């Protein structure tokens, strides 16, 4: 697997989280349920923003040098991501603070906007996976791709990355977990990989980590 193909793992997680947030929004009605939804949206928006910033710094900036004018539409999508996340968060806060008479209408509007978020995020990710990733593989060596992935991950502050990596692992299926951990094992310096393994081990169910260890040689089992 080429390193650039590894971007698909966080894309899978992003798409699943968007769908789950949409579903949760269609169930949330009380202020407490809306507050929980708001916390989830804020966390997701943070992960997505660091990811797209990393794509722009680590991949699209270099792609522009070899394939000018390709990145424009994708960067525009990223700006719309930020606007949609901010709008959803504002609608959650407004619905949570509203009285019983006005809350139902605000919740309906919120639910429509979570659909809009999903319908924006999923096609964007699909375009990147089907159009941008093959182009990056064509234009850059595996070593160059690995360096781009490293730049992307560097956009995450350590405390955010420590939460985002276990979140990603929890969102993808067993085979993809193995593929993801095998990929970062190859491209990360050993000391950073050891830290990342600690984040995963501490942030997922013990059975998830045990399954990964059984299938990826050289990992700490405890």
Give the pLDDT confidence of 11-42 residue by residue, as tens digits.
999 999 999 999 999 999 999 999 999 999 99
Q: What is the pTM of this model?
A: 0.92
Give me the sign of the Cα torsion angle 174, 176, 178, 184: negative
Domains annotated for the chain, with CATH where assigned, are 3-156 (1.20.120.520), 157-222 (no CATH)
Residues 6 or more apart whose CB falls under 8 angstroms from that of 100 comprise: none
**pLDDT, tens digit, 9 for 90 and up, residues 42-78:** 999 999 999 999 999 989 999 999 999 999 999 999 9
Whole-Å CA distances, 158 to 28, 34, 201: 32, 28, 16
């Amino acid at each position: 697997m080429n390193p650039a193909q590894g971007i698909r793992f966080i894309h899978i997680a992003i798409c699943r989280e968007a769908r789950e947030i949409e579903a949760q929004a269609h169930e949330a009605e009380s202020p407490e349920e809306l507050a929980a939804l708001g916390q989830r949206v804020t966390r997701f928006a943070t992960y997505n923003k660091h990811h797209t910033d990393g794509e722009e710094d680590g991949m699209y900036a270099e792609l522009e040098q070899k394939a000018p004018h390709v990145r424009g539409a994708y960067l525009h999508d990223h700006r719309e991501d930020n606007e949609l996340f901010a709008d959803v968060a504002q609608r959650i806060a407004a619905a949570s603070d509203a009285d019983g008479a006005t809350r139902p209408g605000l919740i309906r509007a919120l639910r429509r906007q979570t659909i809009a978020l999903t319908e924006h995020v999923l096609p964007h990710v699909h375009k990147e996976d089907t159009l941008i990733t093959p182009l990056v593989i064509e234009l850059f060596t595996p070593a160059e791709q690995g360096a781009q992935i490293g730049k992307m991950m560097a956009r995450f502050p350590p405390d955010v990355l420590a939460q985002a990596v276990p979140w990603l692992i929890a969102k993808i299926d067993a085979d993809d977990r193995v593929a993801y951990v095998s990929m970062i094992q190859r491209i990360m310096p050993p000391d950073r990989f050891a830290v990342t393994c600690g984040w995963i081990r501490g942030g997922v169910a013990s059975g998830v980590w045990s399954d990964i260890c059984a299938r990826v040689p050289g990992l700490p089992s405890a």
